[in-house]
Structure 1
């Protein structure tokens, strides 16, 4: 057993460096950054390729450090220190991108309403977008139900169950009421995205309504919103440019912190989640194909955003890149991209609020002996779809969605039974988030094609890249 080379509160608590392995782990990460990724950035290699390289480097680095430690059941002290340092890069990136979420959503929705001034298709876009978001979530729920039965989830040994406490949840009625922001500042703090969308939409509608009576001040307001939107998006693209570096740290940290044994213990559930993600990607591709979209081009242009969602584990954090990919690379109208993309980060999330709570509900029902008949499944689909409204797309909120669904199905008292799944939640969350973002992008593309505002020349142009590719 290796001994600590540094001792004392300064090294143990402040620096989090007490073992030589920690220094090696930090050095390996920097080598991945500067010896591998930096040359690719300097050569202006495609952003998607750099994301893939970062994903591979992160997996190799995480598994390599696990191998150095002998694949322990629980992380050793020096592994925890390495994970903490990797969090400096990975978590810092997520903090930067989430910093922009609230101003981006606010200014995007206000801009959408202003841009649609005098146009009659705004309600059409909103209703169609919400339909596709909730429709795909219903499909995701059905996929989760089928896979839970195919994998016979719920037959796991009770000795492997970890104890957990149910988080506070609200009823379905309260969920709808809470979507209306009684305090917009509090809604921003709590990341009530639907509430923020409602307030922003009212701001835009009020500006349009007052334009005839007060043309000069409203013109200044519109100019301000346009300038603010460009500034916020510029900041977002600058931050996203460094996403391949964050991918390495995020994925390596996840593997180091959770380990292989914990993943094997719930391998059936993890496998079901990833298969559900793949099935939903096929469903999304089928939907865009039905709307006359090339599946190959869609996958190629969505890949970078999918990888960001997979590694960041945050639908809201991925939102700036989701909107940019839809507008810049896919030719989706900016109004549709901003409105549907923003809604997709907080409602109808196919992974976190779709197949994941469905898998858990069926698993828990099997474990406690509840009869899973046709009526049970119909009720589950309804509860999942309704419960998917207003769940913020940030890491960890799938647990809240699961609590809402279990409560709605009358199984709140059995929440402790999903503790073994929560132990490897970061691994599961990557697949869930990718499905969330892919569903939002699909809803935006389908909506824009139906209203006839999608620029197909931009979509079919393989050379269209994001601004961060040019500056990379």
Structure 2
């Protein structure tokens, strides 16, 4: 049955434009997703683990999307009732993303300020921050190299060349300008413009300023610390409440993606999808090697990180996964609260191995191939530098990889060719799952490596197979 073959049951502006329900198939589609939500609610009431619920949601979302495509006859383009279903499926999915985006600014602000305040009087804060940032950016550099190698190995963009010219674009952003843009001249504008690295700088300065004034004004600063501590608990509570409903959003987001784009769009960019997942697997191997180099059992690390990886994979949000990441680091891996909060917060705003590492590298190579730009050693070196710098201050929320790709393409002088990656953006949720997994894994490895180098990791907790991430499990 073709999507456009059915006649509309309802007519008029109210049905067609306002509530977007004119076909009986739309009502059936709505009933189907409500049944899916009922199943998830039943599992939640039975205290089924959050990871299992997320996996079930992923399966249901894929089945629902493919089922609708099958009923419609797998059309090349969604029309009629399929568009109406996608609009309604966008309600829970897009609402969830909006809630996550709403929390980015307060979550990063209170996390960074609290971390700086918690390290008041401690001399090792700069060391922890320096080591954490090093490992985040170092692994992102490795991710970029992996992306370059795989993009060439898979020949991304070679079969869809649109320009046969070796002349590069003129819209370069030099290194000095790139760095200066990270420093906010107006913190309100930085917040509204989601200049996350600017927010991190401002938050760190606020915390440092409070620490310096503590001896002169102990009573006032004590109130400020209590306020920040209360805000942190409140924001984390709100975040965990929203995350609790993430399985419902996963069903809607995945089903909507398949309904809108269908199988042809996925097949068209299958090479890119495969390259992304291969890059993710290779990065996980790199992470395991780094952990092993620091005297930590890679098997135990993978075992304890698995549920957090799964949540990152299905949620597509490094920031959304942050509370669980921190809880896993502290409750299951023996990383102290300060290091977990600092490196965890930094890892959700910089050095994301997937979204800001191998993905923009692959996009840059693909576009270069498509427009006929020569890729040589100088191009690769410049690409690694641009990717690593561009990875600073990218908020870890769904869709952030698009921002990272824009930054890298502009930095490489190919900003005008951004529309060429439209076919990749069409199946972004599918590849975003793998990218986010790599992001969160990189953050956890950076925290563990930092803690081991500082010599303060509680190995008794790490080696305890039954250790529980209390806050995350209790809330979810």
- Normalising to structure 2: TM-score of the pair? 0.90
Q: What's the offset of the Cα at 1:443?
A: 1.3
Q: State how far apart, in whole Å, the 2-side matches of 1:301 and 1:326 are.
A: 9
Does residue 28 of structure 1 match 2:18? no
Write the distance in 1 (CA, Å) between the matches of 2:81 and 2:428.
Answer: 22
1:92 aligns with 2:89: no
Report the CA distance shift for 1:425/1:237 in structure 2 as closer, same or farther (over 3 A): closer
Alignment pair present for 1:313 and 2:316: yes
State the partner residue of 1:163. none
Greater Cα offset, 25-34 or 450-459: 450-459
Greater alpha carbon shift after TM alignment, 131-140 vs 335-344? 335-344
Partner of 2:423: 420
CA distance, structure 1, for counterparts of residue 98 and residue 420 of structure 2: 32
Would you say 1:464 and 2:458 are equivalent positions? no
Moved more, 428-437 or 113-122: 428-437
- Gaps (5+ residues) in structure 2? 164-168
1:116–1:122 contact (8 Å) kept in structure 2: yes
2:84 paired with 1:81: yes
Residue of structure 1 equivalent to 2:46:
43
Contact persistence 2:172–2:413 (CA under 8 A)? no
| 2:205 aligned with 1:202 | yes
Residue by residue, what CA displacement relative to the aligned partner does 1:222-266 show, whole Å, maximum 9, x if unpaired?
122222212222222222222222222222222222211011112
Q: Quickly say closer, same or farther: Cα 1:272–1:115, change in 2 above 3 A.
A: same
Deviations 1:337-387 (A, max 9, x none): 222222222221212221112212222333344333333322222222122
> 1:281, CA displacement in angstroms?
1.7
Task: Tell whether 2:65 aligns with 1:62.
Answer: yes
Moved more, 328-337 or 46-55: 328-337
Q: For the residues of structure 2 that align with 1:104 and 1:415, how far apart are their CA atoms? A: 31
Partner of 2:227: 224
**TM-aligned CA distance change 1:307 to 1:84, over 3 Å:** farther
The answer on whether the counterparts of 1:48 and 1:303 sit within 8 Å (CA) in structure 2 is no
- Whole-angstrom distance in 1 between the partners of 2:276 and 2:118: 40
Q: How does 1:293-304 map to 2 (within 5 A)?
A: 293-304=296-307
Distance 2:323 2:134 in 1: 22
- Equivalences for 1:156-195 in 2 at 5 Å? 156-158=159-161, 171-195=174-198
Q: Which moved more, 1:195-204 or 1:291-300?
A: 291-300
Segment of structure 1 superposing worse, 110-119 or 327-336? 327-336
Q: 1:279-314 CA distances to partner (integer Å, 9 max, x unpaired)?
A: 112212222232233334433433343333333333
Which of residues 353, 357, 360 in structure 2 aligns to 1:354? Answer: 357
Distance in 2 separating the partners of 1:25 and 1:468:
33
Partner in structure 2 of residue 105 of structure 1: 108
**Counterparts of 1:323 and 1:99, CA distance in 2:** 20
Give secondary structure in 1 for the equivalent of 2:260.
helix
Q: State yes or no: 1:290 paired with 2:293.
A: yes
The aligned counterpart of 1:244 is 247
The answer to whether 1:8 aligns with 2:12 is yes
Tell me the secondary structure at the aligned position of residue 27 of structure 2.
helix
Q: 1:18 to 1:308 in 2, by over 3 A?
A: farther
Asked if the contact 1:140/1:350 (under 8 Å) is kept, the reply is: yes
Of stretches 322-331 and 428-437 in structure 1, the one that deviates more from structure 2 is 322-331
Q: Structure 1 residue 135: deviation in Å? A: 0.8
| 1:130 matched to 2:124 | no
**Structure 1: 5+ residue stretches without partners:** 161-165
CA gap of 1:95–1:192, structure 2 versus 1, over 3 A, is: same
Match of 2:453 in 1: 450
CA distance 1:461–1:238, change in 2 (3 Å)? farther
Q: 2:147 matched to which residue of 1?
A: 144
* Number of equivalenced pairs: 465
Q: Once superposed, what is the RMSD of the aligned Cα atoms?
A: 2.4
| Residue deviations 1:108-163 (CA, integer Å, cap 9, x gap) | 11111111111111111111111111111111111111111211222223589xxx
Partners of 1:254 and 1:329 lie apart in 2 by 35
CA 1:304–1:85 in 2, change beyond 3 Å: closer, same or farther?
A: farther
Corresponding residue SS for 2:335: coil
- Supply the distance in 1 between the matched residues of 2:257 and 2:103 (Cα, whole angstroms): 24
Partner residue in 2 for 1:345 = 348
Q: How many angstroms apart in 1 are the aligned matches of 2:221 and 2:275? A: 52
Distance 1:85 1:355, change over 3 A: same
User: Cα gap change, 1:245/1:13 in structure 2, threshold over 3 Å: closer, same or farther?
Assistant: same
Q: Is the 8 A contact 1:247 1:312 kept in 2?
A: yes
1:205–1:12 Cα change, 3 Å: same
8 Å CA contact 2:327–2:469 kept in 1: the answer is no
**1:458 and 1:464 in contact (8 A); partners too:** no
